[in-house]
Structure 1
Amino acid sequence: MSGDSLKLFSFRGKSRILHLTWLAFFICFFAWFNHAPLLMAIADSLSLSSQQVKTLLILNVALTIPARIIVGMLTDKYGPRRTYSALLLVGSVPCFIFALADSFAAAALSRFLLGFVGAAFVIGIRMVSEWFPARQLGTAEGIYGGWGNFGSAAGAMSLPAVALVFGGEDGWRYAVGLTGVLCVVYGCIYYFSVTDTPKGATYFKPKKMGAMEVTSPGDLVLLLVMRLPLYAALALLTWKLSGEAGLLSGFWATIIYSGLGLLYLLDVRKSFSVNREMLTTPPEPLLRYKFKQVAVLNLLYFITFGSELAVISMLPLFFSETFTLSPVMAGLLGSSYAVMNLLARPAGGLISDRCGRKATLLVLVAGLAAGYCVMSQIGDNWPLFLAVATTMGCAFFVQASSGAVFAMVPLIKRRLTGQIAGMTGAYGNVGAVCFLTVLSLVSYQTFFLVIAATAAVGFAALFLLEEPQGHMAEVMPDGSVSLIDVA
């Protein structure tokens, strides 16, 4: 397998698995954002206030943070084939609930549950890593992430037309329901069309479930520290729902805060339980990995994908207010940022494969910081074409950086790839929550500068990252050690 080239336009062998998997991710994102292009029709049909619409947007991403952690664990335990198929089938249910919703409460519940579909990304990271050798992995993961991510843009382009075909007040319901049907159909297709590994290869699973395994006491402490921002982001979402949105009373907000604190303590307890043997009998040096690699990649994805989600959310409004454009034109120009994913994310993975993981990230993150600094200077005195060109240039560095991050994630510890991808992916959502909160407090110019400053911190942290070299080791079922090339 490792000797084969990546035949992108083939539908055989590992290329077939790649295409089937990015399409699964595409459909998940198509369903996850099925509300976005239909919001005006949905608001009219359900008589929603502007505040209720904003609440739906928050609820749509709230569950994705913990879901990526859970789905990562399930992927490592049960394999990506079963996990992806199950997620597609289960994810169809909230699509149907939303399509049939006749009140804000029903719509809010379904949008909250649909956040689980947003965790689909981490499943394919493990699947692709099982099928592609290290020298092609960045390119393959970039194609998976970039082309799959386009599902949200495809929904924005096609779902309004579907709603118009059915027509009437319920046109949006048929369009949303169709995304649920797609999930059911493709969930069955995926289950019967793929295998977790190439024939004869071993699928390595974690020794224990419930928390991530680490290989040193210091790494256990770092793991617990890195868990804190995930809970903090959920607390921040609670604050937004109870404050700005007014969806939660002070009593229920307090209950949620207390619950999050209790969950973190249980997380700490479970982490110690899973790693108890390591604390008493450290593993052999060959079987260890450095959790600092995961921590740095978490921070980088917080910056890259976090800023991408935040900027995509605000860019149409930014163009509209800065250049006095119509909503349609502002939305069209704003979409240029997301469309770059088709090329930029695979490019980030490809450059990583050719030029080295760490060197690529250093260059791309520096470009990202510079890009946001330039975007902070955009004003109404700029030619519109120059503002759009600057935005697309910045988008390239942002999305290529995301591709470069996940070119390295699968090269840390094979049996934990789902959990590592889940944690790193969750940090992307944490970044979006934090940056959008910053945006609610400051001007557009300051917002871009805050992202640039955060990127400078990420650039400094990159010097702690180690280039993957040699092999990572996993224990076979018969007790022998298997060496997996990461160079």
Structure 2
Amino acid sequence: MCQYWTSRMFTKEVAGTANSIVGGWGNLGGGVTQIVMGSALFPLFKTIFADKENPASAAWRTVCIVPAVVAFVWGFILMKISDDCPKGNYSKLKKSGDMPDVSASASFRSGAMNLNTWILFLQYGCCFGVELTMNNLAASYFSEKYGAKTEVAAAIASIFGWMNLFARGLGGFSSDKMNEKLGMRGRLIVQSVTLVAEGVLVFVFANAPSLAASVTVMVFFSIFVQAAEGSTYGIVPYVNPPVTGSIAGIVGAGGNVGAVCFGLGFRQFEDEMKAFTLMGSCIIVSGLLSLFVCIKGHSGLVFGQDSDEVKKSRETTLQIPVPDEEANN
């Protein structure tokens, strides 16, 4: 929903940057929440409930309520102070006839029937799904393979999430810049390069000879993972603009599906090297799927050309209007 709202509030030419910053900082917020809950609120409430039979249990149950309350309050504030899109709220636009009334089922059906949606679904599963997988296993991986202490391993693993400060935004920004020069072909180039580089770095990460080398590779691996996430949502608003919400939702679900699949892979293989090999191979193949992305009116990675309307829109949308000299005199 958040990515759809961002897509509606910003023109498609900067959708990559807008979506990626919002998504990246949203993911970062999850890590910050864990730190605040575990390092600040939990000790505080443990002290408050010191006279309880099980203070730790009571404190943790209470702490878990805090994010829910914050989310509810913030959601209520958004309902009161924000608009659905730059032109206002959907209810008023539908009443005035400025916005067609499309049913949710028709919107979802239209988005689901588009092949590009499912290619992006798979690609997002191979970047955001990989991020979720690494968040779950990185600490234990460093501890078991290199003998790092639990605290040290957890601190090192957190680096993966902290890359969200800039890496996802970098992917979206790069997608927008390439769009200015090459149109959709530029966006697809960024998408392919980030995914293939991510897949290659999985193999390098799994074969790192030392903890220091592994951490160094992980930093670059994480950057490409999150850059691919950002570039994915630079493409989403173009697939079928009237049903962007449904497409954004389907693509977003790909991340969770990818995490489940890769997580099962690591459980099934006793040898983690086999699991990393499978994951890296899937990521590289997903990057090559960009060859089959074909969006009406836009150039593909190999075939097709941008329509005249698309070229004109790209050239004029972000131009700064020149003041009319006669009007100023």
- TM above 0.5, yes or no, is yes
CA distance in 1, matches of 2:313, 2:121: 20
Paired position in structure 1 for 2:18:
140
The offset of 1:468, in angstroms, is 7.2
The 8 Å contact of residues 205 and 415 in structure 1, kept in 2 or not, is answered as no
Which of 207, 214, 228 matches 2:110?
214
Paired position in structure 2 for 1:85:
none
Is the counterpart of residue 321 in structure 1 residue 144 in structure 2?
Answer: yes
The 8 Å contact of residues 469 and 486 in structure 1, kept in 2 or not, is answered as no
Counterpart code for 1:361: Q
CA distance in 1, matches of 2:164, 2:138: 16
Counterpart code for 1:364: T
The offset of 1:204, in angstroms, is 4.8
Paired position in structure 2 for 1:126:
4
After TM superposition, list the pairs within 5 Å mapping 1:30-49 onto structure 2: none
CA distance in 2, matches of 1:142, 1:468: 24
CA distance in 1, matches of 2:226, 2:276: 16
Paired position in structure 2 for 1:408:
235
Structure 1 306/486 Cα, relative in aligned 2: closer, same or farther at 3 Å? farther
Is the counterpart of residue 153 in structure 1 residue 31 in structure 2?
Answer: yes
Counterpart code for 1:436: G
The 8 Å contact of residues 164 and 226 in structure 2, kept in 1 or not, is answered as yes
Is the counterpart of residue 349 in structure 1 residue 172 in structure 2?
Answer: yes
Is the counterpart of residue 423 in structure 1 residue 250 in structure 2?
Answer: yes
Paired position in structure 2 for 1:475:
none
Structure 1 156/205 Cα, relative in aligned 2: closer, same or farther at 3 Å? farther
Paired position in structure 1 for 2:285:
457
Higher relative contact order (CA 8 A, sep 6+): 2
The 8 Å contact of residues 135 and 157 in structure 2, kept in 1 or not, is answered as yes
CA distance in 2, matches of 1:311, 1:408: 25
* Secondary structure in 1 matching 2:102: coil
Work out the number of aligned pairs and report it: 278
Structure 1 165/319 Cα, relative in aligned 2: closer, same or farther at 3 Å? same
Which of 117, 129, 132 matches 1:306?
129
Is the counterpart of residue 444 in structure 1 residue 272 in structure 2?
Answer: yes
CA distance in 1, matches of 2:127, 2:190: 14
Is the counterpart of residue 162 in structure 1 residue 41 in structure 2?
Answer: yes
1:188-243 C-alpha deviation (Å, 9 max, x unpaired) = 2111121011136968566333352339xxxx7xx4xxxxxxxxxxxxxxxxxxxx
In structure 2, runs of 5+ residues without a counterpart are 179-185, 300-309, 315-329
Paired position in structure 2 for 1:195:
83
TM-score by length of 1: 0.54
Structure 1 204/429 Cα, relative in aligned 2: closer, same or farther at 3 Å? farther
The offset of 1:148, in angstroms, is 0.8
Counterpart code for 2:272: Y
1:46-103 C-alpha deviation (Å, 9 max, x unpaired) = xxxxxxxxxxxxxxxxxxxxxxxxxxxxxxxxxxxxxxxxxxxxxxxxxxxxxxxxxx
In structure 1, runs of 5+ residues without a counterpart are 1-122, 224-290, 472-482
Paired position in structure 2 for 1:336:
159
CA distance in 2, matches of 1:345, 1:205: 33
Structure 1 388/204 Cα, relative in aligned 2: closer, same or farther at 3 Å? farther
CA distance in 1, matches of 2:296, 2:203: 31
CA distance in 2, matches of 1:410, 1:331: 36
* Secondary structure in 2 matching 1:423: helix
Structure 1 206/330 Cα, relative in aligned 2: closer, same or farther at 3 Å? farther
1:330-378 C-alpha deviation (Å, 9 max, x unpaired) = 1110111111112111110000000121111111111111111101212
Paired position in structure 2 for 1:362:
192
1:165-198 C-alpha deviation (Å, 9 max, x unpaired) = 1223122122112122212211221111210111
CA distance in 2, matches of 1:422, 1:150: 20
After TM superposition, list the pairs within 5 Å mapping 1:353-392 onto structure 2: 353-355=176-178, 356-378=186-208, 381-382=209-210, 384-392=211-219
Structure 1 329/455 Cα, relative in aligned 2: closer, same or farther at 3 Å? same
Structure 1 467/400 Cα, relative in aligned 2: closer, same or farther at 3 Å? farther
